[in-house]
């Protein structure tokens, strides 16, 4: 079976990727992906700290810093038969991610979830959750290694769920009229 994902968009919040994340993305790209678009969305809120507009001379510095970070992330995936492109956009992050994916005719969105928990989602919102719920195309949701390791430590301390299906008595001809 061939990979249905030929073009993937990868929005990043510019958090540096650990070795595990890079390896995971490389394994996804090796399945027949032909194009990866790595980009960052400059949120309008990032540009207006404490409600005060940023002076115009700082816009260029913000743009350059974001572009350098995206370039550094993109460079980790060049080669290996995948065309890697980059971009910086302005707008509401979750909406802009969906718009970029449509403009790029993406087959999937690759996004990280940082596991902020319920209070983080309430206070800060969750771009990955919003994209997951509103995307018309598949979303590949990844978690950084540090979060996965914390989850695995928790799961190691708990017992696995028990399957109650074998103990249920199910009539042979169960149906709507039974």
Per-residue pLDDT band for 77 (boundaries 50, 70, 90) equals very high
% of the chain beyond a pLDDT of 70: 75
Q: Domain for residue 1, yes or no?
A: no
Determine the structural domain holding residue 127 and report its residue range. Answer: 7-147
For residue 127, is pLDDT > 70?
yes
Yes or no: say if 104 and 5 are a contact pair by the CB < 8 Å rule: no
For the packed helices 145-156 and 19-29, what is the interaxial angle rounded to 10 degrees? 100
pTM attached to this predicted model: 0.76
Q: Domain for residue 177, yes or no?
A: no
Q: Domain for residue 103, yes or no?
A: yes
How many structural domains compose the chain?
1
CATH code, domain carrying 72: 3.40.50.620
Convert the pLDDT of each residue in 134-152 to its tens digit.
999 999 988 766 545 555 5
Q: What is the pLDDT of residue 118?
A: 54
Integer CA distances (angstroms), 165 to 57, 170, 175, in order: 65, 9, 18
Q: Domain for residue 153, yes or no?
A: no
* Residue 171 or residue 23, greater confidence: 23
Convert the pLDDT of each residue in 20-69 to its tens digit.
888 889 989 998 899 999 999 988 655 555 666 667 777 788 889 999 99
Q: What is the CA radius of gyration of the chain?
A: 21
* Residue 34 or residue 154, greater confidence: 34
């Amino acid at each position: 079976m061939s990979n249905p994902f030929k073009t993937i968009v990868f929005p990043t919040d510019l958090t540096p990727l650990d070795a595990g994340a890079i390896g995971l993305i490389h394994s996804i790209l090796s399945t027949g992906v032909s194009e990866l678009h790595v980009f960052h969305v400059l949120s309008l809120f990032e540009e207006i700290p404490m409600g005060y507009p940023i002076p115009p001379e700082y816009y260029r510095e913000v743009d350059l810093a974001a572009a350098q970070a995206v370039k550094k992330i993109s460079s980790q995936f060049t080669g290996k038969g995948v065309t890697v492109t980059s971009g910086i956009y302005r707008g509401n992050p979750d909406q802009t991610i969906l718009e970029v994916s449509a403009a790029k005719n993406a087959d999937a969105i690759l996004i990280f979830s940082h596991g902020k928990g319920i209070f983080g989602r309430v206070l800060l919102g969750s771009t990955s959750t919003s994209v997951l719920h509103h995307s018309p195309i598949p979303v590949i949701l990844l978690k950084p290694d540090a979060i996965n390791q914390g989850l695995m430590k928790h799961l190691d301390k708990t017992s696995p769920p028990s399957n109650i299906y074998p103990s249920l008595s199910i009539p042979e001809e169960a149906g709507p009229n039974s």
